[in-house]
Every structure is written in structure tokens, then in C-alpha cells.
């Protein structure tokens, strides 16, 4: 086995060059996940420079029955992008494949390699006076397009532009046997058989390795207005969004909600942040309108908020970029503030928009009854019915014991309510290792079985990212 | 075999009731396609009333190794929804499953059964002050949602709202073995494994039978403005669209192009139609702007057209519904006018928007060189790069011989150019029987092979709509 591994590494070096293969300590950073929750070990971490090298490496691994973990920026929140602990897998890191292959501004498309960071893609679009709208609040300079595709990334702009899945016209994929599927089409309409790209998007690298993509671009917004709105409760926020959809139509480009606990954590841990209003409020919504034309949006937004009536406790509207950034910092720093505060039991859930308020009320009541004094950090993409719902105890010592003893039961309570409301236990983070077992509680046997059939059809030897998703 | 067939029909009658099984002459109308091009024969045509009946019928057929043709409004333009000639298949017509199961206006979703006509779905949305945007110009009262899903229907609103695929949140599907997959989720975000719904959408019934769907709704447009624009040539139309995307942003909800030959055919065959301008022009574009807010759109549209300069030969703008309908009748009646004129060699192709003008110029030059006097009817959804490109001879007798002798070669010329421009030989109509062989010329062996793997994984005995797509 040892000799075999050495042979394999020699062969990998022959494919990508020995400077692009890491082993031992040098490989370790690529074997730990973003949240520090999963730590694995790899035979080697391999950095191919182009699609052919990926294909050759995959073919070699397939012939030797060695499993592969595809990796981009390694920012998975579910342990999807790190190897398992046994040390028998190869990490195939796409970060060196970071070329912009083509910009077609009049077709509103951009062809990029999987290793491009989201930030670099957004920048390339901007330079051609176009928008690539995927909006991840904190990690755009780390996460890579291949990972965004493989997890069908969401973020703050889904309400207007859709998930990553909706932002793609074509893919190039190296299949588990090393063949290259060139599906790099840049067509708005193509009905010639099964739409294979949707299989690989969101599959977390378990069906093949995405090496390049044709992305959809949009006109850049010329006008933006932002409102910070204190609302009575989540139900009022849902009603406000419904009201705004009627009065402001599809100009709404973001609708986020932040609870009092989130705000307090941000004020405590993030410098230069402060209450958006003179008084303290339990729930604050951030609303953004945008328009591809240079029109005035702040006046209509202000009027719409006034017309909504007394469920809006207090509100402020701005078209000024600096002022809106001050508000957005509150939202964008919640994750960082939580990280500094300590660990928590995190949930990334979605329910139909019409049931968001019900979810928050029911889950909070159930958790408070079961664990008096529990701290709930609820925030997120209300416009998509997607709430990040994190649970902990304020006291650090107590919290440690709480998580150790009760994580499983807390998940049961939260996911049980989500499931009863026809929701999803992973709205935008995927399954990875974290929710691989959990999902079997909530998905039908029929659905699991169809997923297994697909997996078996494309990867019969189970060599693509085993131990994740399925 | 005869006895077996009789037994099977008895068993089908036991499932759906004998009044819902047609055989012999009564079955014949369901065995001929919309264009009168494909005529088959079925053991029986079965009309299930609910999902369980579909599941029971499919299970029965699977046990008896009898193939099934799923059928909705039977408006396929590629022969996808009729049985093969041998008379050994069952047609499973979903038209009796036409219930609106749920309207959730605040979630902007509508849950409908596969047999609902597109028109009834649009109406149900309208009654709740919502828009279901799928815009098929001529057949909304005939085509059904199951077929719209199975062919990933397109139409005039794709530019703004996407294809049918983009308008769906969840599906209910009866699998080839008769199991029911309940994927009727109404979530904007759900990343819990492979996105199975996208497999069934556009699969033309070859992987299972879609029985119900959760559809996305949108705010209803309050304001609409329409422009009729004579442009110098297709290149000017492409440039105009680019200009309008910059000046009018995502308010553009349709951008269609019509050639002189189309207009002449419409004037000839459709009563109460006339030239939109005093002079005759070679190319006319129809542009629609819409907004969910009650704003004035005609003035900005007029200004945008004026700013574009002399490539616009002549233009007129209206916010009046009756006037815009007069223009839209020109576009919507092209298919009907062609039908009355006689048969033609039809192509439904797409290329990147940046190459539409190139496609039209190259294809026309090549065809005119090969077949002097050939008549080209080009029109369609230019905003999506999707051109309907039909070829015939003006003289009826000559045309008959032309089609008989040259259809194959005409296809070679047109599809060869499409392929060289990285286009699609079926933009929105699917493959069905018509392009099943053709597609093998243009798709890579890798892609065909992955499609076959998927087909084999879900339908190992090949009983779902055999002879179509693959």
C-alpha cells in the first residue's frame, strides 16, 4: 500500500509537476475545514493547471481506485471540501485554474475556470460594465466559482437574481472516469436532451469535478436605495416584504432580517458599529431597492414604508453608499461576531416565505421551554424564507456543556419544526459531512433512492468525494 | 399477445374506470401529433384522475413490460407526445388531472396538476393578482403544464423570466416503476442533495411522468409599453437590444424579430392585419417594456429609440393595449399564416445573442447559393438568440418536390452553421422523434453517454416514452 501510494504520487507529479503536489505537513492546511470542525488527512494535495491535467489525474486515481476530494477555496460550512481522516484520499485543488476564459459582453456571459475567486469574477464583470450578482456577504475573496457551483451558493441577492444554479448557462466537467464533458454552452435556450449541468450543480463534487463555467451577467444597477427598518416582529417583516413587492415590484434586491441578539453581538465584538436608531428594537430589516436605470429610488421607498403603517416602528432610508454600508456592516458582521463570541449550534434553514414568522415563533418557544435561558441568534435572507438560526448559551462554560449534551436534541427540535412546515434543513450550505446522516430523517426513501441511482450511474466505484452528501 | 393486451386493458379499466380508457377509433385522435406529421397507434389511451391512479397504471405497465407515452395537450412540435406506429404502447393522458391544488399568494407560488392548461394557470395567478409569465404565443389554451415542464417550454417572456425550468420550485413525479416521488417543495432555497426536478424537466417524459408542480409567481406588471421598430438588418436589431439593455435595464420583457417574408405571409393569410408603417421594411422588431409599478414607460422607450440613431429606420411606441395587440397579432400569427401557406422545413435554433446576425446572414447566403429562389421565413425570440428559421419554395408544386428531395441537405446546411456558432439545434421545442437522430451528429459522445447512463439508471427497461430523445 505504501509503495502504491508513492507510485501514485510520482504519477501525479508527472501530470501536474512536482511543485504542484503537496504531501505531509504541507498538505495539512488543505485537510482542515473553514470552521475548524473537520480535520482529515490526504495522500496528497494536487494543483492541476488545466482541464487536461484534471482529467489525467482523475483517470489515474480511477485506475488505482483512489478517492478524490475536489476543493476550491475550502470555505464549506459543512465539511464538504476536506478529506476524511483515513488518509487514503487525494485532494484535488482547483485554485490554480483561475483564468477568465472569455468575456462576451453583448451576450451577457462570462466564461471562467473553477478556481477563479468569486471576487475576481465580480470584478471581471464590473470591468465590462456588467454585474455578476452572486452575493456572499463575507467570503467573496476566498470562495471559488467551482465551490459556488458545487454548493449552489445563495447569499443576499437570491431574491432578485436566484441561486448560483440560476446564474449558469454551461459547464465543463471532468467525469469520475476522467472523461471531459464539454458543456460550455452560452445559450439562453437549449432543449436538446437532459440538462446535465443541473446534476453537477449542488452535487458537492460527488458526481464529477466542475472545471469551468459560462456565467450569466446582468446590467449593472445604476441606482440603489437602502432602508433600515425596525419592525415589531417577524410577521410584520413578512407583511412588509409582501407590501413592498406590490409597491416596489421587482426592484427589491435584498430583504434581510436581524434580531436584537445579533445586533448586540455585533456591537460587542465589531469595532465602529452602533445602533441604527436612537431606541433599541427587537427586529431590524434591511431592504435594498436597485434599478438598472439612474432613477430616484429613495423617495418611493420612503413612501412605501410610510404607507405600510404602524407595523414599521421606525425607519430610515438612504441613497448614500456610505450610509448604507454602515447598516450593511451590521448584517455582514454577524457571523464574525458570533465566531468571536464562541461556538453555537448552527442551522441554515428555509421554509416557504408565508411560514417564516411561524417557524421563528414555534422554534423559539420550543427551545425556550426545553432550555430556559437559551440564546437564539436568528438572522438572514428573509426574502427567500432562509433563516440562519443559531442556538447557544450566553455563559461560555455553560455553553460548552450545553452544546456537548444537547446538540442532537436541539437539531431535532429545530429540524422537526422546519420539516413540519415543508422546509429545508439546508437552505444554502449543502450537506457535506455535517448533515449527511441528518438528511435521511427528512428525505423520503424514494428520493434517497433516486439520488443513489444517479450517483451509481455516474460514479459506480464511489470515488468522487465519498462520505459527503449521500 | 392479444389476450395479454385485453387483460391489460381490463386491468387499466379497473384502475381508472372503464369510461377513462379509449381504444380503437376513439383512441386515434390521441395518436396523431399537432402538426400532422407523426401518426402512431396505441393499445389504449388512459386518463387517470389522480396521482395514485397514474402510479398504479405505471406499475401495471412496468410489470407487463408495456411502454408508456405520457401526454398532455399533445401540442408537441417534434412528435414527442404520440405513440410509435407498432400499437404496443399505452398513451397516458394527464388532461383529467387539472386541479389547482394550492395558491400561496404571499409565498408567490401556485401548486397545480400536470393537466392544467397553461391558460388556466395564468388565469389562476391573475385572480390572485400575480403573474405566471410563461408566454407561448398561440397554444396557451391547448398546451398543459406537464408538457410545458417536460419540454422546458420557452416563448416570448424568457428574456425577462427564464424558461419553464426557471419557473418551477418543486415537482411530483411518478417514476418508471410506479413509485411516487413527492418533491412538491415551495422553497426558494434548498440545498439538500441532487436537484432531481431538473432531471425530469425537459426530459420529454423519458424518465418519469410529472403529475404536479409548484410554480413560481411574480408581481403583475402594472405598466407596459410596446414599440414597433423597423431596423436595417438583424445586426442592427442585436445592437438595438444591447442599447436598450443599457438604457432601459431589465424592464425589457420581450424582444422579437420579424422578417419581411413573415409579414407578407401574415398579410396574405390572416384577416385584419396590415403593414405597421406606411413604407415597407425588411426587418421589424417588437419590443416590450414592463414594470410592476404604474410608471410611464412609453416616453423612456421613445427616448431610447431616438438616442439609438439611424439604424432605426422607423419606429412607433404605444402604451395602449389595443394598439400593441395589433402589432403583436403580426408576430403571433406567423405560425398560423405559414400553416395556411403550406409545409416548410422548420428549424428552431439558438445561438449566442452576439452571433444571431452572423447566423442569419450565413445561413441565408448558403441556402440561397444552394437553392436559388428559396424562401426563408425567419422570426422569433431574438432576445434569447432563438430564431425560428423555416425554409420553403413559394410555388406549391415546386415546394413539395423541394422538401421531398432536399430536407436532409437543408438541415445539414442550417444545423452545420448553428453548430459552428456553438448553437443549439433545438432551442425550445425539444427533440422528440423529429431530432432524435439528428442530435447525435452534434452532441459529443461523452454527453450522449451520460444521458444514456441517466436513462438506464431511472428507466432500465426503457418503458418511458421510447423512441424519443435518446
Question: Residue B278: is it exposed, middle or buried by C-beta count within 10 angstroms (0-12/13-18/19+)?
Answer: exposed
Chain A (178-217) residues lying within 8 Å, Cβ to Cβ, of chain B? 179-183, 185-196, 198-199, 201-203, 207
Q: How many CB pairs under 8 A join A and B?
A: 270
**Interval A209-256: pLDDT, tens:** 999 999 999 999 999 999 999 999 999 999 999 999 988 888 999 999
* A6 pLDDT tier (thresholds 50, 70, 90): confident
* Coil, helix or strand at residue A105: helix
pLDDT of residue B1: 42
Chain A (79-108) residues lying within 8 Å, Cβ to Cβ, of chain B? 104, 106-108
Find chain B residues with C-beta within 8 A of A128's C-beta: none
With cell 452575493, the residue in question is: A135
Q: Which residues pair with B254 in a beta bridge?
A: B288
pLDDT of residue A294: 85
Q: How far apart are CA B123 and CA A342, in angstroms?
A: 52
Q: Inspect the interface and report whether the beta carbons of A104 and B354 lie closer than 8 Å.
A: yes
Q: How far apart are CA A64 and CA A46, in angstroms?
A: 16
For B60, B74, B349, the CA distances from B358, given in Å and listed in that order, are 52, 35, 13
User: Mutate which of B194, B254, B424, B434 to disrupt the A interface (most A C-beta within 10 Å)?
Assistant: B194
* Coil, helix or strand at residue B386: strand
What is the distance of C-alpha B445 from the center of its chain? 26
Compare CB distances from A457 to B292, B429, B453 and report the shortest one's residue.
B453
Average pLDDT over residues A78-106: 96
Phi, psi of B104 (to 5 degrees): -120, 85
Q: How far apart are CA A96 and CA A429, in angstroms?
A: 24
- Percent of chain A past pLDDT 90, that is, above it, reads 91
pLDDT of residue B25: 95
Predicted confidence (pLDDT) at residue A3 exceeds the cutoff of 70: no
Predicted confidence (pLDDT) at residue A1 exceeds the cutoff of 70: no
Q: Inspect the interface and report whether the beta carbons of B384 and A188 lie closer than 8 Å.
A: yes
* pTM of the entire predicted model: 0.96
Dihedral sign computed on CA atoms, order A118, A121, A127, A131: negative
Find chain A residues with C-beta within 8 A of B243's C-beta: none
Average pLDDT over residues A111-119: 98
pLDDT of residue A451: 98
Average pLDDT over residues A153-158: 92
Q: How far apart are CA A448 and CA A364, in angstroms?
A: 30
Q: How far apart are CA A414 and CA A399, in angstroms?
A: 18
pLDDT of residue A438: 93
Q: How far apart are CA A444 and CA A422, in angstroms?
A: 13
Q: How far apart are CA A429 and CA A206, in angstroms?
A: 15
Strands A218-219 and A130-131: antiparallel
Q: Inspect the interface and report whether the beta carbons of B384 and A189 lie closer than 8 Å.
A: yes
Q: Name every residue whose Cβ is closer than 8 Å to that of residue B213 and which is 6 or more positions away in sequence.
A: B111, B112, B114, B145, B149, B168, B170, B171, B172, B184
* A292 pLDDT tier (thresholds 50, 70, 90): confident
Q: Inspect the interface and report whether the beta carbons of A154 and B191 lie closer than 8 Å.
A: yes
pLDDT of residue B356: 96
Q: Inspect the interface and report whether the beta carbons of A198 and B195 lie closer than 8 Å.
A: yes
Low-confidence ranges of chain B (pLDDT < 70): 1-3
- The alpha carbon of residue B139 is apart from the nearest alpha carbon of chain A, in Å, by 19
**Interval A54-86: pLDDT, tens:** 999 999 999 999 999 999 999 999 999 999 999
* Buried/exposed code over A401-433 (b: 16+ C-beta within 10 A; e: otherwise): ebbeebeeebbebbbbbbbebbbbbbbbbbbbb
With cell 413525479, the residue in question is: B173
**Interval A322-366: pLDDT, tens:** 999 999 999 999 999 998 999 899 999 999 999 999 999 999 999
pLDDT of residue B2: 45
Predicted confidence (pLDDT) at residue A314 exceeds the cutoff of 70: yes
pLDDT of residue A135: 87
With cell 466564461, the residue in question is: A111
Q: How far apart are CA A237 and CA B187, in angstroms?
A: 18
Q: What DSSP letter does each residue of A24-39 carry, written as one string?
A: GGGGGGGGB-TTS--B
Q: What is the ipTM metric for this complex?
A: 0.95
Query: Which run of H or E residues covers position B211?
Result: strand B209-216
Q: Inspect the interface and report whether the beta carbons of A195 and B189 lie closer than 8 Å.
A: no
Question: Residue B19: is it exposed, middle or buried by C-beta count within 10 angstroms (0-12/13-18/19+)?
Answer: exposed
pLDDT of residue B260: 96
Average pLDDT over residues A93-104: 98
Amino acid at each position: 500500500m505504501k509503495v502504491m501510494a508513492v507510485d501514485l504520487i510520482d504519477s501525479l507529479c508527472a501530470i501536474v509537476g512536482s511543485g504542484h503536489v503537496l504531501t505531509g505537513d504541507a498538505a495539512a492546511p488543505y485537510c482542515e475545514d473553514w470552521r475548524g470542525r473537520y480535520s482529515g488527512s490526504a495522500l496528497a494535495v494536487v494543483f492541476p493547471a488545466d482541464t487536461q491535467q484534471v482529467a489525467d489525474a482523475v483517470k489515474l486515481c480511477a485506475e488505482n481506485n483512489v478517492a478524490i476530494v475536489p476543493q476550491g477555496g475550502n470555505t464549506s460550512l459543512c465539511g464538504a471540501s476536506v478529506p476524511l481522516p483515513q488518509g487514503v484520499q487525494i485532494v484535488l485543488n482547483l485554485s490554480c485554474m483561475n483564468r477568465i476564459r472569455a468575456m462576451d459582453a453583448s451576450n451577457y456571459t462570462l466564461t471562467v475556470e473553477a478556481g477563479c475567486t468569486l471576487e475576481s469574477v465580480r470584478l471581471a464583470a464590473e470591468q465590462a460594465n456588467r454585474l455578476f450578482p452572486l452575493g456572499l456577504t463575507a467570503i467573496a475573496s476566498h470562495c471559488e466559482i467551482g465551490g459556488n457551483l458545487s454548493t449552489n451558493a445563495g447569499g443576499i441577492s437570491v431574491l432578485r437574481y436566484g441561486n448560483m444554479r440560476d446564474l449558469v448557462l454551461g459547464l465543463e466537467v471532468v467525469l469520475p472516469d476522467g472523461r471531459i464533458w464539454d458543456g460550455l454552452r452560452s445559450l439562453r435556450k437549449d432543449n436538446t436532451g437532459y440538462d446535465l449541468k443541473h446534476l453537477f450543480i449542488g452535487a458537492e463534487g460527488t458526481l464529477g469535478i466542475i472545471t469551468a463555467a459560462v456565467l450569466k451577467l446582468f446590467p449593472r444597477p445604476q441606482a440603489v436605495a437602502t432602508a433600515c427598518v425596525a419592525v415589531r416582529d417577524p410577521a410584520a417583516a413578512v407583511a412588509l416584504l409582501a407590501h413592498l413587492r406590490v409597491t416596489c415590484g421587482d426592484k427589491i434586491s435584498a430583504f434581510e432580517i436581524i434580531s436584537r441578539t445579533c445586533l448586540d453581538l455585533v456591537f460587542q465584538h465589531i469595532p465602529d458599529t452602533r445602533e441604527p436608531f436612537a431606541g433599541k428594537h427587537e427586529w431590524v430589516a434591511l431592504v435594498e431597492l436597485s434599478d438598472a436605470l439612474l432613477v430616484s429610488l429613495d423617495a418611493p421607498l420612503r413612501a412605501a414604508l410610510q404607507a405600510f403603517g404602524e407595523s414599521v416602528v421606525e425607519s430610515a432610508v438612504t441613497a448614500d453608499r456610505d450610509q448604507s454600508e454602515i447598516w450593511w456592516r451590521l448584517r455582514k458582521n454577524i457571523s464574525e461576531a458570533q465566531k468571536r463570541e464562541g461556538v453555537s449550534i448552527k442551522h441554515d434553514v428555509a421554509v416557504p416565505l408565508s411560514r417564516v414568522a411561524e417557524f421563528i415563533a414555534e422554534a423559539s418557544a420550543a427551545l425556550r421551554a426545553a432550555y430556559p435561558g437559551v440564546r437564539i441568534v436568528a438572522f438572514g435572507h428573509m426574502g427567500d424564507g432562509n433563516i440562519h438560526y443559531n442556538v447557544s448559551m450566553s455563559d461560555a462554560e455553560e455553553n460548552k456543556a450545553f452544546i456537548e449534551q444537547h446538540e442532537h436534541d436541539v437539531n431535532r427540535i429545530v429540524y422537526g419544526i422546519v420539516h413540519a412546515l415543508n422546509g429545508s434543513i439546508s437552505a444554502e450550505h449543502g450537506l457535506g459531512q455535517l448533515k449527511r446522516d441528518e438528511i435521511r430523517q427528512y428525505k423520503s426513501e424514494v428520493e434517497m433512492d433516486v439520488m443513489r441511482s444517479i450517483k451509481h450511474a455516474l460514479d459506480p466505484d464511489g470515488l468522487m468525494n465519498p462520505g459527503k452528501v449521500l
